Amino acid sequence: MATDPSPQIPMRASPKRSNNSIHPVDVETPPVRTPTPIIYREIKHFKKWIPWLVPAFVVANTVMFIITMYVNNCPKNSVSCVADFLGRFSFQPFKENPLLGPSSATLLKMGALHVKEVVDGDQGWRLITCNWLHGGVFHLLANMLSLLVIGIRLEREFGFIRVGLIYIISGFGGSLMSALFLQSNISVGASGGLFGILGCMLSELITNWTIYANKVASFVTLLVIIAVNLAVGILPHVDNFAHIGGFLTGFLLGFVFLIRPQFGWVSQRYAPPGHSSSARPKFKKYQCILWAVSLILVIVGLSLGLVMLLRGVNANDHCSWCHYLSCVPTSRWSCNTEPAYCSSTQLGSQVNVTCSTNGRTTTYFLPGASSSKIQSLCSQQCS
């Protein structure tokens, strides 16, 4: 009696199985929920903004410089100019302004910071307007390129409101420190707001320390940008006191405006239904402490600085060497950016100009000398 053959077991699956077949893995292993949706929602919690305010600041500063050079009108108001082919947009002589820019008198007319005008002339608005003026092309390029590099990234991460507030308040803080130390010279530049952005980036790195993967690279980048701007700060018309004041103000504001929730709280908030975990606070304890202390310090610091300025306090009385932080004099330029005052006598085409500051007298042959050209000669005579 013949026996039935044993059941045949297929050794391999046909590559042309129908769609109704079930792969062994589908049977033996239950489907696993991947964490991708949770990770996506966690990252989405930190909204990405489209940066437009920082580029607008760059355009505004550039337009103000063009207007300032138009008002300066070097060919009409000076005996000699740099880059004469630019017409009325040409620059003052290098000895008078090595940054390729306007005269000190023009900057003062446009709203540069001058303590005498603020305290005695009740022109407190100069603490704001000076942040939108620049001493020259080199000054403008250094500030605006740095602002674009660091400002756009910050605005993309935190939005235009917080970045705008930090920029403006830091600029005001820089102007206050500048006014307390530079009692005679004028001061211009967006450096206060720029260094405020740098300062808040440093404090943001500290308060949100766990977010960054490469902390050393971020720190080194900040140091390079700060070093470049400080190098420019030793030239006349550039104010390192505004750099320092803006940096300190922005550093404190970063703890206030740029604080982020810790990742544990974000993960808990976007966890799937039924997921249980111990409740976590939105912010770490050290973040809250830094927020409160920084808010108090920035309010007290700006208020105290303003009161000291209006009372005529000169911070140099307490620091005899601090003025070198703003400008290092050389044989190529003078650190005296105060508008020059001279006495002059004119006999025909011969003009005698005497600087009231150093007593130096020079005779010039200048047919049809106007008052603006005599003022330009005075600036060179006193520099």
Catalytic entry in 114, 134, 139, 243: 243
Catalytic entry in 175, 191, 294, 326: 191
> In the structure encoding, which two tokens stand for residue 31, read together?
């489907």
Q: Which helix (H) or strand (E) holds 63?
A: helix 53-72
> In the structure encoding, which two tokens stand for residue 179, read together?
């006014």
Active site residue 237: no
* CB burial string 292-325: b at 16+ within 10 A, e below: eebeebbeebbeebbeebeeeeebeeeeeebbeb
**What's the angle, vertex CA 285, arms to CA 284 and CA 289, rounded to 5?**
120
Q: Closest Cα to residue 322, out of 129, 172, 180? A: 180
Torsions phi, psi for 328 (to 5 deg): -110, 110
How would DSSP label each residue in 121-176?
Answer: S--TTHHHHGGG--SSHHHHHHHHHHHHHHHHHHHHHH-HHHHHHHHHHHHHHHHH
Q: Which helix (H) or strand (E) holds 353?
A: strand 350-355
Active site residue 243: yes
What are 379-382's contacts with CB under 8 Å, separation 24+? 379/92, 379/96, 379/103, 379/104, 379/105, 379/339, 379/340, 380/93, 380/95, 380/96, 381/340, 381/342, 381/353, 381/354, 381/355, 382/334, 382/336, 382/340, 382/341, 382/342, 382/355, 382/356, 382/357, 382/358
Q: Closest Cα to residue 169, out of 48, 256, 58? A: 256
CB of 99 within 8 A of CB of 135?
Answer: yes
How would DSSP label each residue in 244-283?
Answer: HHHHHHHHHHHHHHS----HHHHHHHTPPTT-------SS
Q: Known catalytic residues?
A: 191, 243
